[in-house]
Amino acid sequence: MAITGVLRPGHVCIRVLELEPAVRHYVDTIGLTEVMRDKAADGSPRVFLKGWDESDHHSVVLREADESGMDYMGWKVDSEATLEKLSADVEASGLATDMHWIAAGEHPETGKRFRFTVSTGHIMELYAYRKATGCATGSLNPDPWPDDMHGMGARRFDHCLLYGDDLANTYKLFTEVLGFGLSEAVVAGPGEQMIGAFLSCANKAHDVAFIQQPVKNKLHHVSFLLDNWGEVLKAADIISKRRVSLDIGPTRHGITRGETVYFFDPSGNRNEVFSGGYTWYPDKPVITWTDDQLGTGIFYHDRKLNEKFLSVFT
């Protein structure tokens, strides 16, 4: 399949309460690499990081703030022409607010970004250019992993799961305007109203997921990719060894079939590391989960819903 339009999640900006403990967590525990530091327009300090298998300059931004959560999520598109077209399509759709351009260079080594707010309250961005500074193994006759891999050894920033109150219009924007496909859906009630949407822009089981909740602009988790189930188990050992706050796991999902463990950063933002899942193509039938089987869908092994997992977010 030729992947065009929106290629993949490009970055996430996470608000943290204290920068240095957060950096230690994302570097020493999750295994990201610090790239550089600067200050945002409001003067708040920022740190840019990336996974060892990511070629672009950065994928994760930590910004010190008074409240934890997610500032915004960015999506890389295939060309400047696509950026111009999709920005115009978003403006014409009537499905987004607060649309404006962010000048090139506001993120280091990054071109201009088109920013908008979707109906769930989340801020999204589209951009076409970020300098490729290379991954840790290089691109010529590379080894399968770097010698200096540390912590959990996260390969890349992979996806976010987000909570919001207007799933229907956010779903419409992502599928009808940005060209995402629906890989899995959670439905509830006699009318089978969709209360969860797992969306893919390429070949993954999901690149972003939205869950219907009576809140706006909330982050459930930020997820990072590991190689295999054994690495997820090792990540759980690291969580215990470093006295990190464990949420759930290690276990696996019914939804997306991924193997997973959830935990919290020092500011209370939920993190996930996972492996597995399936390859998605646009002609794959949508997998549907009914709300009475949601326990199995979320936690396939014990088949029970966990109230903390559902109700804690930033």
- Phi and psi for 115 in degrees, rounded to 5? -105, 140
Sheet containing strand 193-200, strands side by side: 246-252, 258-264, 270-276, 218-225, 156-164, 208-212, 193-200, 181-188, 287-290
Contact between 7 and 178 (Cβ < 8 Å):
no
Q: Is residue 100 packed enough to be buried (19+ CB in 10 Å), middle (13-18) or exposed (0-12)? A: exposed
Letter for the amino acid at 209?
A
Contact between 238 and 151 (Cβ < 8 Å):
yes
Enumerate the β-bridge partners of residue 97. Answer: 117
Among all residues, which ones are annotated catalytic? 159, 206, 221, 253, 262, 272
